[in-house]
Amino acid sequence: MEIIVDDLNDFERLIIDQILLSINDAVEEILSNPSLDDVFLLTKTIALVCGKLEAVRISGDKRLRGHQKKKIAYYIGKCVLKNSSLKHIFERSGEDMIEVLIDFAKSHKVIARCTNFCI
């Protein structure tokens, strides 16, 4: 998958800017940890992005569509990993990892809501 900024609409760019702003410090901390394996660093970074995307709401309760989340997550991943040794791993496996983690984030969020409601 190759996504360039021209492929993104204004709304998607706004979401990207907001997410990049909110995760910048966390991503720097993750990527600067020398004790973590590359695959784990990549997984943590993508999970952070996918979790943020799952929380995005449009007009109150409407969620982003799956293809939008995937496109945005892939673009953000390329941005935050562009100067990293993980770039080549992300380019090979990032798309599949994003799909898995978006599905997980959806499921996890539902469980968290149920727990909050039940307590």
Nearest to 82 by CA among 7, 5, 14: 5
Structural domain span for residue 62 = 5-118
**Using one digit for the tens of pLDDT, what is the confidence trace for 60-88?**
778 888 888 888 999 999 888 887 888 88
Identify the pLDDT of residue 114: 41
Domain count across the chain: 1
Instruction: Specify whether the CB–CB gap between 24 and 45 falls below 8 A.
Output: no
Enumerate residues 6+ apart whose C-beta is below 8 A from 43: 97, 101
CB atoms within 10 A of CB 48: 19
pLDDT at 116 over 50: no
H/E stretch holding 63: strand 62-63
